[in-house]
Amino acid sequence: MSITTVDVLDCLRQMADVIHENKEYLTDLDAAIGDADHGINMDRGFQAILKKLPSVEDKDAGTILKTA
């Protein structure tokens, strides 16, 4: 079994969805030992990835992971 470009794109989109849905939870966890910004920053990063995906959809999986 090999990982295709579609697999990578789907995985990144799913990760972005899960992080977005759990942003507050991740932030609450971070508040216990950190500065309470983990969920916010993870969501910000994955939203940026989602915006970049259309420009790399025709690339190979490795390029997508390096670029996104």
What are the residues whose beta carbons fall under 8 Å from the beta carbon of 41, sequence distance 6 or more?
A: none
**pLDDT higher than threshold 90 for residue 1:** no
How many domains does the chain fold into? 1
Rounded (to 5) percent helix, strand, coil in the chain? 80, 0, 20
Give the Cβ contact number of residue 27 at 10 Å: 19
**pLDDT higher than threshold 90 for residue 41:** yes
Which residue segment(s) compose the domain that 32 sits in?
A: 5-67
What integer pLDDT is reported at residue 10 of this predicted model? 98
Report the distance separating Cα 22 and Cα 43, nearest Å.
9
Q: Tell the residue number behind the tokens 């309470």, with chain if given.
A: 36
Q: Supply the pTM of this predicted model.
A: 0.89
Q: Using a pLDDT cut of 90, give the percent of the chain over it.
A: 94
Please, which pLDDT band fits residue 45 given cuts at 50, 70 and 90? very high
